[in-house]
Every structure is written in C-alpha cells, then in structure tokens.
C-alpha cells in the first residue's frame, strides 16, 4: 500500500458537524467523545487538565508521549455541531472502581457545564450498563448546579460533602462526592449506603494541647515539637525500620490484613516525596523527645496548593506506642503545621470501614464525618467502603486548648 | 537523632538463623517469607524466576531502581530459617479481583527446594486470600513439581488449566498448571464459578488448513505472509487513525467487556514502542485484502516467551463486512505460519471470555484445544467474568490436513 492511499484514508473530517457520524457509542445530544487526535493540541487549553499555560507544541508532545502511554484513557469532549473540542474526561481505573475526571473549558460558562454533565452521564452509563462495571465515582464542585441537577436526574447520587474544600472566584465551595452504581452489582451485594458503619469511642473531640515553649535547643532537625513527641523530616534509614516493624505487626484491621513492604520501597518513597520543589506529599517522622526514638509517621498527602487543602495520614508501626495518646499528640502537631505554617484551609481523611479505631481517633482530634465513598475495594465477600472526614482550620482554631493527661486511646 | 542510634536498630541478622525472630506471620517450620532487602542481591540468581545469568551488581540495580518502580507488583523472598539464606521467591501481581502468584525456588535445591516452595505457598496463599481478603489468587506451577502440587491440593487450591508442553525443564518440556484459590465469603456471595455454564456455538471440529500459497508475481508491498485472499504486513503509523476511527464505530459488545476506544496517538505510540524492540515480545500485523490492499483488521502474538517458546494470540477483524466469511481464520493461519515457522515457537495459547462464544468457536475450528477455565477475572454485571483457555502446539498444527482454497460462503465463520 502506498503512502498516498494511506493518507487519503486517514484524512481529517471534511465537513464540520459530521465527526460523530458512524460512531456507535458515547454520542450524546450536544457532544460526543473520542480519543485525542492530531490537531487537538492547538486548543490544548480548552481540554488539558492544568491551571498553567502550555504551548501547543508541548501539548502535542504530551499527547504523543504522556497521554498515549497513560494506563487510563482520556477522551475528548467534542461539540457535535462543529466538531470543536470543548473539554476532556479521564477515566481512571484501579481494578474494581472507576473514577471520572472531567475537565471543561471554564470560558464556556453555563454552556460548558451542560456539556460536562452530558459527558459524565455518557461515560457513567457506558461503564455501568455496557461494560458491567460496579461503580463510577465523580468529584464535583458544589456550585455547579447545572451539572448536579443533570447527573442526579440520570441516577447518580451524592455520598459525601467535603466542606469548603475548593476556592472558586474568591469564594470557598464544598466538593461533592457522587457515585453511579450498577443495578446488577446492587442486586448481588445490596445497597452500600445501607451497610452499617460501626463506631467506637465517645465521638467527642478533646481539647488541643497548648503549644510547647522550649527551654533549651530543639531536638536536632525538629520542625514541630510537642510535650512528648516531635516531628522531623523522614530519613531514608527510617524506611528500614518501617519495613522491619511491618514484619512484626500484630493487628490486621488498619489495612486489610498485614503487608510486607520492602525497605527499598520505603526508601524510594521517602526520596521521591522530598525531590520536588513543591512536594505534593509532606511526610514527617514522629520521634520521642526523651530518647529520639522514631515511633511513627504523620503526613499531608496530595497537598493542593491552589485550593489549600490536603489529606492527612498517620501510622504508628511500633505496637508499644499505640493507644497512649502519642498518635493524637503527633496529629495535633501535624494539624498546626498544616493550618498555621502551610496555611491550608481544611484537611480531609479517609478510613476503611472496618478500621473503627482510626475513625474514633479522628473524631477525638476534631474531625467531622463528611460521608462515604462506596465500593472501592474487595473485602470479605463484598466491595467495601471508606468513611470520610473533614476538619476546617477555623474549627481547629476554635477548639479549646488544654493540657491533657495521656490515657488509652480507645 | 544520630546516625548511630538508627544503625543499632537495623536488622543486620548478625547471628545466622535469627532473621525470622519477632516476625508475627509467614514464618514456617523450615522457611520464612519477607519483602526484598538490598542485600538479597547476593543470592539474586537463586531466588529470581529466571534461567538467564545476571551479575550481583545487576541484581543490586534491579532491586534498588527497577523493582521499586513496578506497579501493583511485589516480590517476596523465601529464606531458610536455619541460616537466613534466600532460596526462592513469590512474585505477586494484583489487579482486583485477581492476584497472580508466580512462585520460584532455586532448581539446584532439588526436592528439598520443592518442599520449601510448598511450605511457602501453603502460608502465603491463605495470607493473601483469607487475611488480606483478596477474592481470588491464581498460581502457575510446572506440572512436574509433585510436592508443590500436593500442598496446593491440601490447602484447597484447585487445578483449573493445563497448558501442554509450555515450559522447558531440564532436558525436556513439561505442562504448566494454573491453580486457583478462592475467597470463601466471595464464593458464598457469588457461588462456585465452576458451576457457571459455558455456552458453546459451532461444531467444535477443526477445519483443514489452507495449503501454502506459491506466489506467481511480486508479493504485495511490504508483505510478511501472504494467503489467498489476505496478507499480513507491518502496522504503519497511518493505520492508527483508521483503527482509532473503527473502534468508535464498533457495533458488537460481546468480544470483551464492552467497547473500548483507541486514540490515534495512543495506538501509534504503543505500536512504535513495540517496533523499536529486537526481539519483540508483542508482534502485531495489519491484515490486508490482496485484491485492493485495504486494511480490514489486525492480529498478532503477545507475551512472546523466547526461553520457553510460547506466546498468546489475539486478533480482531475491525470491519463488520469481513467478519464471518473466513478472512479471520485465513489470517490466523498465516499468523500460525509466522509463529511456528518463523519464530519457531513450540506452543500458542489464547483466552476468551465466556460470553464470546463466537471467538471460542473460531479457535476450535482453527485447531486450538481447550486447556481449562480461568475464573473471576474482572468485574462484570454483578459478578466476576470467567475465561476459557485454549492452546495449540506447533506439532498439532503441522499435523492438521491441508486443503486447497475454495471461496467460502458468508456464514462460514459463524458455523
């Protein structure tokens, strides 16, 4: 076959408005979806999920390299009447769950929201009703009324609300969690919203320990210092200890069962997190003031510097230091770092349903329940759920400050 | 904290035989299992699942740089309790609901090695499925490892697939067995997947192979294998746009888990990456009509294992008007010619989801034999979907009768 014939076959669409003809799925009333093509780079700013300006030449490279090799697929949202690209939707898959990440050119205003809603519904229905997948998840700013009404009408339902997570045009806006569930999976597993969330502990927040005034020098390399513990940067060597502690784990409820992680992997994560100029993971080693022994790990995950929020995480690998308030003391130091030094507006936290102990600790630390995310991981003959929490900086600042006598956590 | 304070806490295993002390799980009578540590490079050749030699420096780089980058994959070392020497490994690959376990023990350890591997699997599989609640674990083991097979039977793992003569062993070949171990709560929820009926269509009888074609004139430009109506040529960059467009126009949803869309760039980048490799583990061909050089589909071999000499086949005729008229089977036999006579592979395998009875019928017709079933592979309409597995040996294919070309009726493929 000659190059000339090939070119003829691959010729771009001649008449505007005919681009969707012949396509058998993912075609809506106003928009249709397709993979990225030559030429989409020219209007990259309409659909590329970035806040920053990128030249078409670089978007072209990005399409050919990064996007082409992405395990997850990104589909263009294209207007039917003139085949103009107005946005994109990324379909992320990690096994049993799918996440839809739509992006529409904000310059289209309300029209854009209408197209965004149509694209979301097209993909959700395709995943669930054609491909038989259990669930499609979606995160959405709480002020997009047009999208909310359309997707709720299509049968998507809200399962979570993170208060004031986003900042849009100078205002704080909630972020909503939506799901679209498979009726076939619902018939076999039941409605996940009816799965009971077990609770332990009183659920009452405790006062925050007041700031510590240091007499002498701070512990070497410390960044936040409390009465009994301090936070310092993680060192690659801490990974070796973490790997050893994982082998000595006695509890199986934090995660699902125990895990063996290589010290090589821990070291790599520590190095990787510290490399970027503006890191998205900020991790600390929790050490005892009395003897500098590392006893745990607290962290801000996926820090969003534009919207000023992050997810909090913590783990105390050493069994001897669990349930004596060390974890809460360290968490309060992390929250002070997040709110007072990094200037975050709020933090979120996700907990496996069966991990009632961590959920109780979060409530005690001042977090509030923000809903749930269903069907994220297989567990015990079903697809299991996460319970969500959030905590606003202003709520944390309003909590009473009082020294507490450490006692058993649960 | 000072450097020395940390160093004293490090597990240096100063006294041989103390490496497992304090570990709360995966410790057996003769062996224990832990994650990979940097010093394991010293025994890399013993525990790595390969028969190709590599230096300890190479293993060091692999552990520190490459292994740490692998997504959804973990390697666990099997160590002898008495002296903390690494003798084997278990590599796991997770994509829910499935976890694939790839076991290995140093073949020089002979029968005692098989005993150690049996003990390791006897601990690790219940850990993954009963403690970590993974829905299903699949374990591939050579059919000649009696001790391992006995232990898998004893813990309740079931042999589901037997790929004939797939592996090379010392001085010969052996079958590859795939065992499955199911999570009990999921069986209670969804039922035993062995009870799911497999629908069939077609006669199941193999058809004769078309006799090789002797070309009169020149071969079509760039052709690699030429048949009576179709030929195979390399996929070109420009095919990508055509294929991406066809994936948008697909009308059938039963081949796979519904329809998928390719992007032009995604397809081109994938193909380009493959074509730069030598030798290649994924070899894709464009299927073209001889009469007008039009592209009608693609097919190829994937996961080519040059050590053991096998690969997986896959094909798709994109244009509906060329389905069900024997074009696919004609192209497939050209691919067999390439796989068995050019790459000199020993065996081919193929996997088809239960609802795709049409592809299963085509494979039977092309000479493949059923090798077993693989269960619970991916989420689909309230359950996990199952696969039927096929294999075809070069020797089987060579023995199939050859017939002259006769133009087929339109329903041939559906028969």
In this prediction the ipTM stands at 0.84
The stretches in chain B having pLDDT less than 50 are 1-8, 410-415
**Do B330 and B210 form a contact (C-beta atoms < 8 A)?**
yes
* A25, A35, A238: residue with CB nearest B266: A35
CA dist B57 → B13, B45, B157 (Å): 22, 11, 38
Distance CA B79, CA B96 (A): 28
Distance CA B263, CA A34 (A): 7
**The pLDDT of residue A12:** 54
Q: Does B2 touch chain A (CB under 8 A)?
A: yes
Distance CA B269, CA B284 (A): 13
**The pLDDT of residue B173:** 96
Q: Does A4 touch chain B (CB under 8 A)?
A: no
Question: What DSSP string runs through A26-90?
Answer: SB-SSEEEE---TTGGGGHHHHSS-SS---HHHHHHHIIIIIHH-SSEEEEEEETTT--EEEEEE
Q: Which two tokens stand for residue B211?
A: 């006799």
Span B308-330, pLDDT tens digits: 999 999 999 999 999 988 999 99
Taking CB atoms and an 8 Å limit, are B183 and A237 in contact across chains?
no
Integer-rounded Cα Rg, in Å, for chain A is: 24
**The pLDDT of residue B2:** 38
Nearest CA in chain B to A27: B248
Best mutation target among A4, A9, A35 (most B Cβ atoms within 10 Å) is A35
Q: Which two tokens stand for residue A4?
A: 């000339």
Residue A294 DSSP SS3: strand
Integer-rounded Cα Rg, in Å, for chain B is: 24
Distance CA A146, CA A116 (A): 9
State the smallest CA–CA distance between residue A280 and chain B in angstroms. Answer: 18
For A157, phi then psi, to 5°, come to -130, 150
Q: What is the 3-state secondary structure (H, E, C) of chain B?
A: CCHHHHHHHCCCCCCCCCCCCCCCCCECCCEEEEECCHHHHHHHHHHCCCCCCCCHHHHHHHHHHHHHHCCCEEEEEEEECCCCCEEEEEEEEEECCEEEEEEEECHHHHHHHHHHHHHHHHHHHHHHHHHCCCCEEEEEEECCCHHHHHHHHHHCCEEEEEEEEEEEECCEEEEEEEEEEECHHHHHHHCCHHHCCCCCCCCCCCCCEECCCCCCCCCCCCCCEECCCEEEEECCCCHHHHHHHHHHCCCCCCCCCCCCCCCHHHHHHHHHHHHCCCCCCCEEEEEEECCCCCEEEEEEEEEEECCCCEEEEEEEECCHHHCCCCHHHHHHHHHHHHHHHHCCCCEEEEEEECCCHHHHHHHHHCCCEEEEEEEEEEEECCEEEEEEEEEEEHHHHHHCCEECCCCCCCCHHHC
Chain A CB contacts of B34 below 8 Å:
247, 260
Long-range contacts of A292-295 (CB under 8 A, 24+ apart): A292/A219, A292/A220, A292/B1, A292/B2, A292/B5, A293/B1, A293/B5, A294/A238, A294/A241, A294/B1, A294/B6, A295/A229, A295/A321, A295/A326
Sequence-ordered list of residues with C-beta below 8 angstroms from that of B204, at least 6 positions apart, any chain = B361, B364
Taking the CB of residue A409, how many other CB atoms lie within 10 A of it? 17
Q: Which two tokens stand for residue B264?
A: 């032009």
Distance CA A92, CA A76 (A): 14
Task: Write the burial class of residue B93 (CB in 10 Å: 0-12 exposed, 13-18 middle, 19+ buried).
Answer: middle
Q: Which of residues 73-102 of B touch A (CB under 8 A)?
A: 74-76, 94-97
Sequence-ordered list of residues with C-beta below 8 angstroms from that of A348, at least 6 positions apart, any chain = A162, A165, A309, A310, A311, A312, A370, A388, A389, A390
Q: Is the dihedral of CA B121, B124, B129, B135 positive or negative?
A: negative
**Do A84 and A105 form a contact (C-beta atoms < 8 A)?**
no
Long-range contacts of A17-21 (CB under 8 A, 24+ apart): A17/A80, A17/A81, A17/A82, A17/A83, A18/A83, A19/A78, A19/A80, A19/A83, A20/A78, A20/A80, A20/A83
Taking CB atoms and an 8 Å limit, are B38 and A241 in contact across chains?
no
Task: Write the burial class of residue B13 (CB in 10 Å: 0-12 exposed, 13-18 middle, 19+ buried).
Answer: middle
State the smallest CA–CA distance between residue B395 and chain A in angstroms. Answer: 34
Taking CB atoms and an 8 Å limit, are B265 and A1 in contact across chains?
no
**The pLDDT of residue A164:** 98
Q: Which two tokens stand for residue B221?
A: 């430009």
Taking the CB of residue B95, how many other CB atoms lie within 10 A of it? 15
Strand partners, A31: A79
Q: Which of residues 60-99 of A touch B (CB under 8 A)?
A: 63-65, 67-70, 73-75, 94-96
- Picking from A294, A301, A334, the residue whose alpha carbon sits closest to that of residue A316 is A294
**The pLDDT of residue A406:** 55
Pairing of strands A97-104, A135-141: parallel
- Picking from B230, B323, B207, B340, the residue whose alpha carbon sits closest to that of residue B285 is B230
Taking CB atoms and an 8 Å limit, are A258 and B37 in contact across chains?
no
Q: Does B261 touch chain A (CB under 8 A)?
A: yes
**Do A77 and A112 form a contact (C-beta atoms < 8 A)?**
no
For A159, phi then psi, to 5°, come to -120, -10
**The pLDDT of residue B216:** 85
Chain B CB contacts of A381 below 8 Å:
183-189
State the smallest CA–CA distance between residue B296 and chain A in angstroms. Answer: 13
Q: Which of residues 302-341 of B touch A (CB under 8 A)?
A: none
Taking CB atoms and an 8 Å limit, are A132 and B381 in contact across chains?
yes
Distance CA A264, CA A237 (A): 10
Q: Does B293 touch chain A (CB under 8 A)?
A: yes
CA dist B93 → A25, B131, B301, B415 (Å): 32, 17, 22, 39
**The pLDDT of residue A410:** 40
Taking CB atoms and an 8 Å limit, are B25 and A258 in contact across chains?
yes
Q: Does A7 touch chain B (CB under 8 A)?
A: yes
Helix (H) or strand (E) holding A408: none
DSSP letter, residue A208: B
Taking CB atoms and an 8 Å limit, are A256 and B257 in contact across chains?
no
Residue A98 DSSP SS3: strand
- Picking from B229, B397, B411, B401, the residue whose alpha carbon sits closest to that of residue B327 is B229
Angle, alpha carbons A237-A240-A242 (nearest 5°): 110
Find tokens 């299927």 and name the residue.
B287
Q: Digits of tens for pLDDT over chain A (410 positions)? A: 333 333 344 455 568 999 999 999 999 999 999 999 878 999 999 999 998 899 999 999 999 888 888 878 999 999 999 999 999 999 999 889 999 999 999 999 999 999 999 999 999 999 999 999 999 999 999 999 999 999 999 999 999 999 999 999 899 999 999 999 999 999 999 999 999 999 998 888 999 999 998 988 999 999 999 999 999 999 999 999 999 999 999 988 888 899 999 999 999 999 999 999 999 999 999 999 999 999 999 999 999 999 999 999 999 988 889 888 999 999 999 999 999 999 999 999 999 999 999 999 999 999 999 999 999 999 999 999 999 999 999 999 999 999 877 554 44
Considering the entire predicted model, what is its pTM?
0.89
* B23, B134, B293: residue with CB nearest A378: B134
Q: Which of residues 16-55 of A touch B (CB under 8 A)?
A: 22-26, 33-38
């Amino acid at each position: 076959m000659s190059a000339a014939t090939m070119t003829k076959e691959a010729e771009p669409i001649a008449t505007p408005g005919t681009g969707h003809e012949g396509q058998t799925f993912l075609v809506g009333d106003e928009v249709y979806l397709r993979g990225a093509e030559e030429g989409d780079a020219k209007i990259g700013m309409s659909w590329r999920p970035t806040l920053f300006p990128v030249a078409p030449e670089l978007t072209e490279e990005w399409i050919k390299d990064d996007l082409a090799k992405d395990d997850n697929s990104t589909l263009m949202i294209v207007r039917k009447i003139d085949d103009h690209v107005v946005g994109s939707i990324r379909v992320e898959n990690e096994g049993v769950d799918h996440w839809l990440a739509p992006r529409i050119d904000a310059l289209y205003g309300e029209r854009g929201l209408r197209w965004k809603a149509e694209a979301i519904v097209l993909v959700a229905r395709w995943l669930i009703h054609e491909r038989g997948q259990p669930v499609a998840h979606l995160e959405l700013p709480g002020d997009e009324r047009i999208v909310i009404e359309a997707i709720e009408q299509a049968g998507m339902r809200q399962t979570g609300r993170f208060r004031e997570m986003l900042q849009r045009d100078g205002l704080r806006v909630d972020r909503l969690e939506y799901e679209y569930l498979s009726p076939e999976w619902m018939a076999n597993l039941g409605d996940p919203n009816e799965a009971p969330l077990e609770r332990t502990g009183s659920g009452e927040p405790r006062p925050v320990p007041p700031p510590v005034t240091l007499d002498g020098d701070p512990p070497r390399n410390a960044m936040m210092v409390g009465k009994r513990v301090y936070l310092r940067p993680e060192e690659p060597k801490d990974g070796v200890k973490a790997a050893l502690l994982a082998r000595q784990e006695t509890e199986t409820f934090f995660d699902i069962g125990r895990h063996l992680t290589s010290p090589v992997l821990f070291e790599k994560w520590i190095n990787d997190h510290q490399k970027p100029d503006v890191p998205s993971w900020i991790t600390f080693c929790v050490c005892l003031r009395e003897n500098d022994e590392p006893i745990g790990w607290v962290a801000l995950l996926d820090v969003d510097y534009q919207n000023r929020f992050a997810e909090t995480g913590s783990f105390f690998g050493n069994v001897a230091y669990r349930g004596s308030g060390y974890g809460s003391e360290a968490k309060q130091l992390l929250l002070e770092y997040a709110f007072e030094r990094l200037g975050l507006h709020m933090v979120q936290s996700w907990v496996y349903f069966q991990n009632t102990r961590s959920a109780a600790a979060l409530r005690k630390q001042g977090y509030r329940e923000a809903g749930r995310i269903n069907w994220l991981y297989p567990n015990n003959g079903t697809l299991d759920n996460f319970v969500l929490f959030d905590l606003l900086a202003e709520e944390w600042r309003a909590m009473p400050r009082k020294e507490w006598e450490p006692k058993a956590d649960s | 904290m000072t450097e020395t304070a940390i160093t004293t806490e490090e597990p240096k295993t100063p006294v041989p035989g103390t490496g497992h002390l304090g570990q709360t799980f995966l410790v057996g009578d003769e062996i224990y299992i832990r994650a990979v540590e940097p010093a394991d490079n010293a025994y890399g050749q013993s525990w790595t699942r390969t028969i190709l030699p590599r230096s300890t420096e190479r293993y060091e780089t692999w552990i520190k740089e490459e292994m740490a980058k692998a997504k959804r994959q973990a390697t666990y070392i099997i160590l002898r309790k008495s002296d903390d020497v690494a003798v084997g490994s278990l590599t796991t690959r997770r994509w829910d609901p499935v976890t694939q376990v790839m076991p290995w023990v140093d073949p020089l350890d002979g029968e005692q090695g098989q005993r150690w591997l049996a003990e390791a699997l006897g601990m690790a599989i219940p850990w993954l499925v009963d403690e970590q609640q993974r829905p299903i674990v699949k374990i591939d083991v050579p059919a000649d490892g009696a001790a391992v097979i006995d232990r898998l039977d004893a813990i309740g793992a079931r042999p589901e697939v037997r790929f004939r003569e797939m592996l090379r062993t010392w001085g010969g070949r052996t079958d590859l067995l795939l065992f499955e171990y199911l999570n009990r709560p999921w069986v209670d929820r969804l039922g035993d997947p062995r009870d799911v009926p497999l629908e069939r269509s077609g006669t199941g009888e193999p058809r004769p192979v078309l006799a090789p074609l002797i070309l009169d004139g020149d071969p079509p430009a760039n052709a690699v294998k030429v048949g009576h109506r179709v030929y195979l040529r390399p996929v070109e960059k420009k095919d990508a746009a055509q294929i991406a467009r066809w994936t948008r126009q697909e009308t059938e949803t039963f081949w796979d888990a519904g329809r998928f869309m390719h992007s032009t760039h995604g397809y081109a980048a994938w193909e380009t990456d493959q074509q730069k490799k030598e030798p290649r583990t994924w070899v894709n061909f464009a299927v073209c009509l001889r009469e007008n050089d039009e592209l009608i589909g693609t097919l190829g071999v994937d996961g080519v294992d040059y050590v053991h000499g096998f690969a997986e086949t896959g094909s798709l005729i994109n244009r509906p008007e060329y389905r069900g008229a024997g074009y696919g089977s004609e192209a497939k036999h050209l691919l067999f010619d390439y796989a068995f006579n050019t790459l000199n592979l020993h065996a081919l395998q193929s996997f088809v989801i239960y609802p795709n009875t049409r592809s299963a019928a085509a494979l039977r017709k092309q000479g493949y034999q059923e090798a077993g079933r693989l269960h619970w592979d991916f989420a689909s309409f309230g359950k996990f979907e199952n696969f039927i597995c096929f294999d075809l040996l070069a020797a089987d294919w060579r023995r199939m009768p050859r017939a002259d070309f006769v133009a087929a009726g339109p329903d041939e493929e559906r028969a």
